[in-house]
Homo-oligomer: A and B are copies of this chain.
């Protein structure tokens, strides 16, 4: 086990993608294979893993939550404990690497939106309560996320801003009741911050639960600005963390960089190490940062078919446990430790970042984003919503002084 970060430094972890059989491994659960993977991750000095049970295999019928499947999740958490790794559990998968896992009871003859159908919601509440309560029994479980980027389940599951929010509110309440001691997180990919017609709001990510989650993927348009080693690309994770702070009601709301990675072809393999080091150095200072969690732990075996090409090689390790450049970069950064830097100038953004209709004004390549990147060349730059620009108490709470 490598050197761990200081207590006050942000958490550093990996999204756990099993090296053998990807998430299909849940169907043939092998605790020793999990241990072998966790040994890899602990060897980098990571302090946590984010894990992803598969909803329809745990709850294949609305009335059946398989005890053995829940036990397998607990065993995985216990394996993590053996390597001093804490665990965050995503409940509803749901969406993973282009694949949606949905039970037969919401498909075809039973077609119903997971977001809006009252019967499906009742099943999800039962599922979320049961699984949240189970994982809360383990001392090394620290957080629960409703599900991985659940907004990818749309448009297959119709919804609108109001329904998406009430869905998350309802499920988070169920998880809270079942697991009162755990941090709760609502995970959305970044259309929630950037796409005007997207039916999931940034305010859901930045206001529901305890910690804001952001996922920084530079194939979202930012690599077209100046990738792979341009400043916009290398600061996109930091930009999202700043934007999430600006969108939050609560000035001291923590932000979790819950996913980021080095996707080809945007980031060629031979630049992955430099991209990784620079991206982390550009965000790890951020005073709001709760933690950073790399996507992902292990590559995907190419015997498994139909993944988008970029998904296969995102691991810190190969499928045969060889440390890759991103893994090496992270191990070195963890040894160096985080340098939190609270004092930074701020830019007022042109629109409310929690307002859905004008989200494109803040998207990668927008005039505001470009001006932020230009200013960012000189060091960290906070973002402030226009409605907050004259709110001295708020600015003080964030430690920000406007120019």
List A residues at the B interface (Cβ < 8 Å). 21-22, 24, 27-28, 57, 60-64, 66, 68-69, 98-102, 104-105, 107-110, 119, 123, 152-153, 156, 303-306
Using A99-B104, A105-B99 as known contacts, say yes or no to A64 and B303 having CB atoms under 8 A apart: yes
Q: Judging by beta carbons under 8 Å apart, are A22 and B104 in contact?
A: no
* Minimum Cβ distance to chain B for residue A111 (Å): 8
List the B side residues contacting A63 at CB < 8 Å.
303-306
Q: For the complex, what is the distance from the CA of A96 to the CA of B28, rounded to whole Å?
A: 24
Q: Judging by beta carbons under 8 Å apart, are B110 and A61 in contact?
A: no
- The 8 closest A-B CB pairs, nearest first, are A63-B305, A99-B104, A108-B156, A100-B108, A62-B305, A24-B60, A61-B304, A98-B109
List the B side residues contacting A27 at CB < 8 Å.
27, 57, 60, 66, 68-69
Q: For the complex, what is the distance from the CA of A207 to the CA of B189, rounded to whole Å?
A: 51
List the B side residues contacting A123 at CB < 8 Å.
305
List the B side residues contacting A68 at CB < 8 Å.
27-28
**Residue in B closest to A69 when the chains form the complex, CB atoms:** B27
**Residue in B closest to A123 when the chains form the complex, CB atoms:** B305
* Minimum Cβ distance to chain B for residue A46 (Å): 27
**Residue in B closest to A111 when the chains form the complex, CB atoms:** B156
Q: For the complex, what is the distance from the CA of A63 to the CA of B303, rounded to whole Å?
A: 6
List the B side residues contacting A107 at CB < 8 Å.
100, 102, 107, 156
Q: For the complex, what is the distance from the CA of A304 to the CA of B107, rounded to whole Å?
A: 17
Q: Judging by beta carbons under 8 Å apart, are B100 and A61 in contact?
A: no
List 8 additional contacts besides A27-B69, A62-B306, A99-B105; criterion CB under 8 Å: A22-B61, A61-B304, A64-B303, A99-B109, A102-B104, A105-B305, A105-B306, A108-B153
Q: For the complex, what is the distance from the CA of A105 to the CA of B97, rounded to whole Å?
A: 11
Q: For the complex, what is the distance from the CA of A153 to the CA of B104, rounded to whole Å?
A: 12
* Minimum Cβ distance to chain B for residue A126 (Å): 10
